[in-house]
Amino acid sequence: MPKTPTVYDVADLAGVSIATVSRVFRKPHKVSQATKDRVNAAVLNLGYVPSGSARSLAARRAGAIGLCFPDFDGIDGGPAPIVYADGRVIEQLDPPEDVEPSGDLYLSEVMLGTEIEAWRHGMAVTIAVARGDEIFDNLAGRVDGMITLSRTVPEGLLAHIARHIPVVVIAGTRAGDDYDHIGTDNVAGMQAMTRHVVDAHGVRDLAFVGGPADSPDDHDRFEGFRMGLHAEGIELPSEPLLRGDFTRSHGRMLGRRLVEAGRVPRALVCSNDQTALGVLDALLATGLRVPEDVIVTGFDGIDASQTSRPRLTTVRQPMRELGRAAVDTLLRRLGDPLMPPQTGTLPVTVLLRESCGCLA
Amino acid sequence: MPKTPTVYDVADLAGVSIATVSRVFRKPHKVSQATKDRVNAAVLNLGYVPSGSARSLAARRAGAIGLCFPDFDGIDGGPAPIVYADGRVIEQLDPPEDVEPSGDLYLSEVMLGTEIEAWRHGMAVTIAVARGDEIFDNLAGRVDGMITLSRTVPEGLLAHIARHIPVVVIAGTRAGDDYDHIGTDNVAGMQAMTRHVVDAHGVRDLAFVGGPADSPDDHDRFEGFRMGLHAEGIELPSEPLLRGDFTRSHGRMLGRRLVEAGRVPRALVCSNDQTALGVLDALLATGLRVPEDVIVTGFDGIDASQTSRPRLTTVRQPMRELGRAAVDTLLRRLGDPLMPPQTGTLPVTVLLRESCGCLA
DNA sequence: GAGGGTGATGTATGCGCATACAGTATAAGG
DNA sequence: CCTTATACTGTATGCGCATACATCACCCTC
């Protein structure tokens, strides 16, 4: 890697000015074909690649969108053992035990949606994990706008950043802030699910298995549950029966706890799929039948809900569309900074499968 | 959003020079505490965020790593219907039919590994989808190095970019290029798998169900299969029995074709999990039993291989570690540009489950 | 008390590009 | 043949920051 060539080198080699080189890239129609050919030849010849930093600086726009995710707890298991060699190879034939599934399809899907939509608009996507102030240092300064999951960035920091670039929050409820918000209809989805269990399966003994108490998603879903019960004239609980942390292993634990306590309701409406799958694991392990003895429902619509036995009745939220909608909103905001704060809600779909007794 | 504040504004407000402001961020130990406090107060006051572009330009390093993925075929289903409203909500209770699983855990996992490792080293990750020359325009110029999946970027373009920044290729075999490579041990993994089927289950009538003919992964896996057969003294096929495109639906098709042709081998060694799962679907649908009538094995170790019925015996490749190792290699390369081209191979793990007859 | 550190800060410059503005050449119009 | 429009191209400047170097104050040391 010798010295990186710049516009100046290209201009020299092509016998034109740097302005012309720049124009070949930015406004090709303003350059004659002959000149374009000469410049392009020089570009190829030198291996020239325009500097994004310089371009962004001069053009006063980064051409990138920031995506800020919560820290991947515990995922950071240290570096892998790399075998740098030719021939040296490790064959492991032993472990018949299983690996833990890589939970967060949710994030992956949102990421994918963001990526797709951003790319459609010629924007790059820069990903960051919220960890201390690095978002501030490393991300906020290099993007035109930021998308973040709710509760990911400390409020003070986010406010500071929002003075600088527009911020779109995914999956949170507005709390007096001025950010744009994109979410799914947790309330309506869970309400519909609840009423389905009551109406279609005649169950009036339902309980809600929740997630973290500080999750706005969980809050809304519980609210939807309560609204569903209310509509059916069933008495409302003020709190979820139990709370987990949205993981499958916590779900298993909660399931076991219910069985041990000896009071398993006729239907368990869970706040997300992972929890529901864990509950399912626990119930089945103790010999209970789903849906015959206990009905279990989830929320999210992750792939695993489709391959479980029985398959999980759940509310599918369009995770990929979430990222997509966030990008659209961000771009509209960039186009019109004065627009009032937006709140977008994506519709959800109730998927009826075996775990509630449908398709049985 | 009034005019974005710069170092100059901060310097003025704090009554110092811009060099001092810069130092507060880059070399805090070289600034007295009193000055630091004044500057930080000004930063908060103005809502200052340092410009990544200017910083990168001046520092001659982007502080970011590029990750280039193949186009997500057919994923681009057009924008979502967003409901911008208060109260207007769409409840969909109808469709009991399932959604297509979002196949590519592989990419997500690699992305995640990249993200984690890059962030550990204070580097941002910028993602791009290979589509035409946009990688060149939008990505290569704004990162310090690039990671790409093999066969993702056209060779000419990649060579051009590699003159400018280091490139690490994931999952390809070296083909006379000078890039660094990171891959998993496809050959050894498939060889071990093949020998397991022969040794442990006494099967000598095996066939290989392959993927795209131009996939280096598939090529290596088939080679491993052949080496396994050779070691067992079984005659080698020169070509896979059938080829799909690595998707589950193609797998189903191939499975059906085998059944219809009336010649289903005792064991089907598939080149990846999705294919194997599709084959499984097709076989089970026609009443064949797995593993009693036919043994099926996969490769990759995606989550779905763990929740299928029967669960899939497969070779797990450490997808997340792949991204991680790629980042490590890239960083080492940045530290030592003259280092000879590296080839890293990550070990794989054979997971024995029901679909081959183990754990039955 | 002169010489030589040492720590804190300021000055000046350049990173590579986009672009406003100012040419220049050529064609068209009168 | 002169004017004016048109199509290209060049010159000059600034984007916001990092940093080499210069400066200055102050403390040691012998």
State the DSSP H helix or E strand holding residue A306, giving kind and residue range, or none if neither: helix A304-307
Judged against a pLDDT cut of 60, whether residue A114 lies above it is answered with yes
Same domain, B173 and B293: no
Inside any domain, residue B313: yes
Q: Which of A67-81, B72-86, B89-103, B200-214 has the highest mean pLDDT?
A: B200-214
Mean pLDDT of all residues in chain A?
Answer: 86
* Nearest beta carbon to residue B345 from set A83, A142, A196: A83
Q: Which of A303, A308, A328, A333 to mutate to test the interface with B (most CBs of B within 10 A)?
A: A303
Which residue is it, tokens 């330009």? Answer: B57
Strands laid side by side in the A295-297 sheet: A242-243, A206-210, A267-270, A295-297
Inside any domain, residue A108: yes
Strands laid side by side in the A314-316 sheet: A314-316, A348-351, B91-92
Same domain, B236 and B143: no
* Nearest beta carbon to residue A188 from set B91, B138, B306: B91
Write out the residue range of the structural domain in which residue A219 sits. 186-318+350-356
* Nearest beta carbon to residue A53 from set B56, B137, B320: B56
Same domain, B42 and B20: yes
CA angle B351, B199, B304 (to 5 degrees): 20
What is the distance in angstroms measured between the alpha-carbon CA of A331 and the sugar C1' of C23? 39
Judged against a pLDDT cut of 50, whether residue B100 lies above it is answered with no
What is the distance in angstroms measured between the alpha-carbon CA of B29 and the sugar C1' of D2? 71
Same domain, A168 and A20: no
Say which nucleotide is closest to residue B30, CA to C1' distance: C8
**Is the peptide bond prior to B101 cis by the omega test (within 30 degrees of 0)?**
no
State the DSSP H helix or E strand holding residue A326, giving kind and residue range, or none if neither: helix A319-335
pLDDT grade for A306, boundaries at 50, 70 and 90 = confident
Residues B178, B156: Cα–Cα separation, whole Å: 13
- Do you know the residue count of chain B? 360
Same domain, A312 and A197: yes
Same domain, B309 and B334: no
Judged against a pLDDT cut of 60, whether residue B133 lies above it is answered with yes
Inside any domain, residue A93: no
Per-residue pLDDT, averaged over B130-157, amounts to 84
Inside any domain, residue A57: no
- Give me the pLDDT at residue A186, please: 94
Q: Which of A68-82, A337-351, B148-162, B216-230 has the highest mean pLDDT?
A: B216-230
Same domain, B311 and B195: yes
Inside any domain, residue B15: yes
CATH of the domain at B15: 1.10.260.40
CATH of the domain at A214: 3.40.50.2300
- Give me the pLDDT at residue A360, please: 63
Instruction: Inspect the interface and report whether the beta carbons of A75 and B316 lie closer than 8 Å.
Output: no
Tell me the pLDDT tens digit for each residue of B46-70: 999 999 999 999 999 999 999 998 7
- Give me the pLDDT at residue A2, please: 60
Which of A167-171, A201-205, B131-135, B142-146 is least confident?
B131-135
Helix B33-46 × helix B7-14 angle, to 10°: 120
First to last CA, chain B: 65
- Give me the pLDDT at residue A75, please: 43
CA angle A184, A189, A193 (to 5 degrees): 160
Same domain, B226 and B340: no
Inside any domain, residue A169: yes
Judged against a pLDDT cut of 60, whether residue A80 lies above it is answered with no
Instruction: Please give the share of chain A, as a percent, with pLDDT higher than 90.
Output: 66
Same domain, A175 and A191: no
Give the total number of structural domains in chain B.
Answer: 3
* B70: closest CA of chain A, how far (Å): 12
Q: Please list every residue in chain B whose beta carbon sits closer than 8 Å to the beta carbon of residue A324.
A: 79-80
- Give me the pLDDT at residue B94, please: 34
pLDDT grade for B360, boundaries at 50, 70 and 90 = low
pLDDT grade for A85, boundaries at 50, 70 and 90 = very low
- Give me the pLDDT at residue A72, please: 56
Judged against a pLDDT cut of 70, whether residue B79 lies above it is answered with no
pLDDT grade for B304, boundaries at 50, 70 and 90 = confident
Same domain, A230 and A313: yes
- Give me the pLDDT at residue B96, please: 31
Say which nucleotide is closest to residue B26, CA to C1' distance: D18
Inside any domain, residue B244: yes
Judged against a pLDDT cut of 70, whether residue A12 lies above it is answered with yes
Inside any domain, residue A176: yes
Q: Rg of chain B over CA atoms, in angstroms?
A: 26
Same domain, A220 and A286: yes
pLDDT grade for B2, boundaries at 50, 70 and 90 = low
Asked whether strand D has any atom less than 7 Å from the CB of A23, the reply is yes
Residues A260, A276: Cα–Cα separation, whole Å: 17
Same domain, A178 and A325: yes
